[in-house]
Structure 1
């Protein structure tokens, strides 16, 4: 097996009012404060969002340490601007009108996609794994397609929206897939097939540029990586590190695998809906054979499949322990529901999410 590839993580966060939890449009101010601290925060499409980006790493422990450091710095920068940093995939409270970050590209997207752009405020986590070329990126994409719903279920963190229960563990995923280029990618047999699909979307006007290829796995437009985008922003830094470890091990396994099943789109859509609806606390659809199975059973299958890569990475113990902790404690969606159902107060959800955001980061 080749040397382990490097990995990096991007996390998107909400900026909310510390008292009410309502989104606040202060990302430019927070980014300026972060720059004074020597930290680079990116501005997302909505003014209530910021994004952090790690360096590239070969060691998951070092990646986790930087994820915690970035959350700490972003939270301190938010606090300086009377805002609270929240690892939540959708605003849990009823927001005021969300405003677009003032860049030419974001305004162009808003003009072309209307209400769809103005109702964003959706926060995800993107994992980048180094690959030698785009053909390798598509090899990883094809391998990951059957496992994308499982990764979504594990990281679901958007059960409460606009002050109430959505009935879904990942409401972000339901909202996100309204975009014409979002969701699982097709199975691609070649780079030429990928390029043809992208050129078709461009010519039809359903995307404005290649950065709007929002598929949940894609060759990065910026880095020599494959980018996995299926996840809600996880509630804790440890969950983001767990996601990154699983994705990197999948990428390594894909590079040594001769055959992967081509999953029918209707089965994959059903598995996505099931994952978004039930998260990690219900059943999952195994896209390969269409059976309904416990999430834990499907997770065990994934870990068994990528075990050699996890061992080579030195991550098997970390993944085993992190998964056990996650199953016991619950992901962001479970935390939100427990907090909300205790008293029916959305401020309790904000308080729980704020604590999870900074868990082990202080």
Structure 2
């Protein structure tokens, strides 16, 4: 870290002289990437533990949704588009069958990676004679543009296979469990930009846990860590905003209005975790004509809701929930690498396993059984 402001925040953290172990969960995959790239874990006092949390939408996208997208692309005359990371997410299928969208594309399906909803609209307009299905998986920050796309109106041949999730319910589930696994929370900056920081008030008000919203620079992250540690030391928890340049009270009112117009919130399955109440975005009935789930029900397999978890031996679910570090998974760095991912956490740039691998952690923890 060459930034002098970051060094000052780091010194303030050391000056707090907290002696007991303190566990800080960082929810966002982007935060985990910044922490790893900047080497913040090694710079903090040894007793301060940073735990990556459930901030990777690719990692928690239900297996049955990925399977639905694969079968739809293989068996229907459609163009399927998806954000690039989703193409490599594996499902639990026999080795003779395509086990990812990437493999389905190699088998002849017309599957195209995109970077934004605008690209999906552009492809649909360029191919008016063919149905285009947008497999849209993501948290609030990527789901809001999907809502805006639908609200503005889309070509008749474009539909959406929606797999959107809200971030805070997973943290609420952890805090409501017997073992939350963390003492302080660094809340996601981009999500708070859209939804407002108020979504994270429950962490303080219901559970008495220090919390701070952070941006993605080492300076902002360290400021948030300092804030939560000072709150912890003083026994005076509150929600701090350490990303004021973008995060405002109430969030982005236009984006929230569009989300509410196009989608409703209901129970949703998280891969390997199970159903979390009120954690998923679902298209409202008014948008049924654009709902790929209604248009292509034959390609769904409801039995996968029981069987469609993580692949055998894969511990991505516990990594997502902050129960273990990435390199404590028995497959990490051995059977599972970015070149040959077994679990979704090794696929996405926001997956903790992929981030740790890119950061130079190439072997399993020595005490892993």
TM-score normalised by the chain length of structure 2: 0.25
Q: Which has the greater radius of gyration?
A: 2
The structure richer in helix per residue is 1
TM-score normalised by the chain length of structure 1: 0.25
